[in-house]
Homo-oligomer: A and B are copies of this chain.
C-alpha cells in the first residue's frame, strides 16, 4: 500500500504514464494509433503472426498495423479475437485469466468502432477504454456532503478489498453511458431504476495508467447521484463487500493512506474539486490536479449522440 502526502501524489500514482515514445504503436490501416504494445507482448505477437496466413498484422520496427485484407469491423474483430483466444489457451499472459466475456469497442478517428475486443485483453494492446463511475452522496440538513464509498469484495480478481466509488463499470458495446449507469446501480448496489435515473453526467475524467498487464488509457464518464439521507445502497452481485457513508475528511484520510483503487481515488478527487472541498485556495497543486484529471489522450474516442 502506498501512502501519499497530497492529492497530487494520488493522481500521479494513477495518471502515471508520461511517455510511450519507445513503445510499439498499434494502428489502423489509415495510420490512426489506437493502442500501444509493450515489448513482452510484441514478441508474442510476432511469433503468433507467423503462424497465420495471410498474416493478420503488419509489423515494422515500431508499429503494428492491421493487414490490408482486414477491411471491415467484423474482420478486424475476428483477427483480434483469434489472437486472444490463442494466447488464452496457451496461458501466455496472466491478464487473460481474468477473461470476462465482455466486449469493448476500439474507436477510429471517425469516432466509430473500428473493432471490438474482450475487455480483459485491452491492456495487452494498450487501447483506450471507457467506463462510468457514479459518486453517490447525501447532504446533511446543513448541506454538508457525505459520500458513499464501496469496499471491493475480497474475491475480486483485481484490487480486492480496496475502496471504490459507490458504483462503477465498463460500458458494454451497444450501451449508452446512462444505460450503463442504471444497469450497474442495480447490479452492484441494488439501487432501483427510479433512483438511479436521477444520476446525472457531471464530466469525464481521462488519465493514462499502467498495471502489470500493460498500458491503460482510460476515460470514465462521471455521474453524480444524490441519494435521500435515509437511503442505503446494498451489495448484490458479490463485487462489493460493503458500503460506507463518510464525510469528505474521512474519504481524504483513507485516500492518503492508499486504501483506494487508484482510478477510484482520481474520480473521488474530481468530485471533491467540483463540489468545493478541494479549492485553489486550499491546495497549492490545484491546476496540476485539473491537468491530471483531464489528461488529453492520444487515441480517438466515441463520437455518437445516443
Chain A residues within 8 Å of B, Cβ to Cβ: 111, 176-178, 200-204, 206, 219, 221, 224, 273-276, 279-287, 290-291, 293-296, 301-306
Query: Max chain B CB contacts within 10 Å: which of A206, A286, A304?
Result: A286
17 contacts between A and B (CB under 8 A): A200-B275, A200-B276, A201-B279, A201-B280, A202-B275, A204-B290, A206-B290, A219-B287, A221-B280, A221-B286, A282-B305, A283-B305, A284-B302, A284-B305, A287-B301, A291-B296, A294-B294
Are A202 and B287 within 8 A (Cβ)? no
Count of identical protomers in the assembly: 2
Are A281 and B305 within 8 A (Cβ)? yes
* With known contacts A203-B274, A273-B203, A286-B204, A281–B294 Cβ distance under 8 A: no
Name the one of B204, B273, B293, B295 contacting A280, with C-beta atoms under 8 angstroms: B204
Are A279 and B200 within 8 A (Cβ)? yes
Residues of B within 8 A of A275 (CB): 200, 202
Closest Cβ of chain B to A263, distance in Å, is 16
Closest Cβ of chain B to A306, distance in Å, is 4
Closest Cβ of chain B to A47, distance in Å, is 35
